[in-house]
Structures are given as structure tokens and as C-alpha cells.
Amino acid sequence: MKEGALVVLGIESTAHTFGVGVASSDGRILANENRVYRPSKGGIHPREAAQHHARVAPDALRACLSKAGVSISELDGIAFSVGPGLGPCLRTGATIARTLALSLKKPLIAVNHGVAHIEVGRLVTGCRDPVVLYVAGGNTLVAAFSAGRYRVFGETLDIAAGNCLDAFGIKAGIGPMPMPELMAGKARSFVRLPYAVKGMDVSFSGILTAALSKLKQGAALEDVCLGLTETVYSMLTEVTERAVAYTAKREVLLVGGLARSRRLREMLEAMAKERGAELYTVPDEYAGDNGAMIAWNGVLQLSCGMVVEVEESRVRPRMRIDDVEVRWFG
Ligand code: MG
């Protein structure tokens, strides 16, 4: 590590992942330890997920620090996801972060989860000023930096794209992503579903309902999977393309859990090429929720003094990315 580099520990706990990471201001991720809560049936139960997080926290913390090769006294700050996310899950991570910050007498850093997805993407792919497509189980938005913030160009009006695909897979009995996409590869024909781009925004709940009813009416599961994935990815690509056209930026960055989708990458890649732009995709390790992204965003914030007092560190389940002043950008 470079002399004088800042080292920050980050805690992620917005939804099903409890993650701990360590990052340093010379741009290195020193450790990234993540534990994922997997419900035996159905979707995430917020309180059960929070209990999972509390249970795995000590082990994840120990493993993370030992992999990073730093002792707890060498940390310069403690960062945590302050929102958006599920209240009980956020509070569990925040409580651990506050306890560490108070007992170690280190600054506490409240990080926006969505901004952290973008910043770890910029760090590990090396792109500088992209149009960002952030798609996951809980979030779907297109954003780009302008005048001090990540501005939202388009977003979902109801459920997230990842949630739509996961929910379909679970209800159809094949399980969440990547199952619907893998099944789509075996399709023989395309089941047409409603395409719902409204202005710059997207809507997925009607498509989910329509896909489930096609299945009930006897359409082949593979064919519905193809119709569903192609429709969802086309909508995302269209909205991203319009943001690229509008901003004239030359980079497109794909982040969030759905960045693991091969087909979505293909579509975005083709679109970017036609626009004379380049697609950057966050690697799998940093695609889903993870502690390292919170640690890295913590480094960025600490380096420009963006810390909070414990008394003001209340979690914000509905926080937006454009609530954050991005002072470190450049
Ligand atoms: Mg996320």
C-alpha cells in the first residue's frame, strides 16, 4: 500500500446480501466478502434477511479483514449502505457500522447503494464519464453525471427488471435468474408480450402478469422465457440508447446484478457500436451487491470530507441516487 493511502471498510446490507469489503485510496480493492441470504421459498422476507445478516456478520468481518491483511486499527473510516433498501436489512448493517465507528473512534461514512454500484463499475472497468444502466433485483435506472450529480434519465415506474425476471422464474417453477434466460435459449418460437416504454421510463409489472397468463394459457415455458427476456432487454436498451443520444457521451456502463446477463450485454454492445460508443460491463464479482463497492465509495467520500455523525446516520430506505452530491467526480 502507498504511504498515506486511506483505507476504508464498507458494509453492504440493503437486501439479500451481507457484504464486507476493504478498499484503499490508491484504487485497490483489498477484500470483498459477501454472504447471500437465500430464502427456502419465494422472495426475500425483510426480517428474515436482517436476521441472516446479523448471524453472518462476525464471520464475514473477520474473513474480510484477514484477506485484506489490515488490522482493524489501520482503518481510516467505516462506510455503510444508508439506502435505498429494505428497512430491517439496512438497520442491521448501519448498527454494525456505527458500533465499529464509535468503538474505534473512526469517521462514519453513509453511502448511497446505487451510487456505489456506479463507482465500483467506473473503478474496475476504467471508464470515465458513462451513461449508466443500473439493473438489478431492486433497482432499474439510466443515469449520467451532469452538474454535480448522477442525474436519472429514466427509471422503472413499478418493479425492477431483475425482480420481473426473478419473480417470473420463481412462479414458473424454474427459479430466479439466470434460469429464465437459460430457458430462453431452448425456445422454438417467440411469445409476444406488451412492450412498455413510457417516455424515458419503463414498466415491468404488466409484462410479468402477461407472461404468467400466457403460461397458464398453455404457451411453452421456453417460448415465454424468450419473449420475456427479449422484451425486457429491448426496453432497457432503447432507454439507454436515448440517453446516449441525448448526452452524446461515448461510454456506456452496465452495472448491477443483471450485468451478468449475456444477452443484455449483447444488445447493449450492438447499440453502443452503432452509436460510436463503447460498452463497459462490471465484472461478475462486483455486479451483484457487495461490500467492496461500499468500501470504495467510502474512500471517495472520505477523501472529500463527506462523513456523518452517528446521530445523523439514520437509514434512508427510499433514497435516490440524485440525492447525492458527487463531489469526487472528475
Ligand atoms: Mg444493488
What is the 216 CA–ligand 1 centroid distance (Å)?
A: 31
Q: Is residue 71 part of a domain?
A: yes
Per-residue model confidence as pLDDT tens digits over 122-137: 999 999 999 999 999 9
Q: Are residues 36 and 135 in the same domain?
A: no
Cα–Cα distances in Å, from 36 out to 39, 124, 218, 240? 10, 22, 35, 29
The pLDDT of residue 39 is 84
Confidence band (pLDDT; 50, 70, 90) for 324?
very high
Percent of the chain with pLDDT over 90: 96
Domain assignment present for 270: no
Say if 267 falls within a structural domain: no
Ligand 1 centroid vs 144 CA: distance in angstroms?
Answer: 17
Measured in Å, residue 2 CA sits from the centre of ligand 1 at 30
- Centre of ligand 1 to C-alpha 186, Å, is 29
Strands across the sheet with 149-155, in order? 149-155, 140-146, 131-135, 251-255, 278-281
Q: How far is the CA of 249 from the centre of ligand 1 (A)?
A: 24
Domain boundary among 218, 248, 278: 248
Residue ranges making up the domain that contains 94: 7-118+288-323
User: Cα(314) to centroid of ligand 1, in Å?
Assistant: 19
Please give the distance, rounded to the nearest whole angstrom, from the Cα atom of residue 190 to the centre of ligand 1.
30
Q: Are residues 217 and 159 part of one domain?
A: yes
Q: Is residue 156 in some structural domain?
A: yes
Output the 3-class SS for 94-132. Answer: HHHHHHHHHHHCCCEEEEEHHHHHHHHHHHHHCCCCCEE
Residue 197: inside a domain: yes
Residues 243 and 135 both lie in one domain: yes
How many angstroms is it from 117 CA to the middle of ligand 1? 7
Q: What's the angle, vertex CA 11, arms to CA 10 and CA 14, rounded to 5?
A: 135
Residue 3 pLDDT grade (very low, low, confident, very high; cuts 50, 70, 90): low
154 domain-assigned: yes
Q: Using an 8 Å Cβ cutoff, are 237 and 203 in contact?
A: no
d(CA 192, CA 212): 12
Given a cut of 70, is residue 1 above it in pLDDT? Answer: no
- Please provide the average confidence, as pLDDT, over all residues in the chain: 96
**Cα of 188 from ligand 1 centre, angstroms:** 33
Q: What is the pTM of this model?
A: 0.96
End-to-end CA distance of the chain: 23
pLDDT digits (tens, 9 = 90+) for 31-56: 999 999 988 777 789 999 999 999 99
What separation in Å is there between the alpha carbon of 316 and the centre of ligand 1? 15
Cα of 137 vs centre of ligand 1, distance in Å, is 7
Q: Looking at residue 69, which CATH number applies to its domain?
A: 3.30.420.40
- Dump pLDDT digits (tens) for 154-204: 999 999 999 999 999 999 999 999 999 999 999 999 999 999 999 999 999
- On whether the CB atoms of residues 315 and 110 are closer than 8 A, the answer is no
Residues 64 and 135 in one domain: no
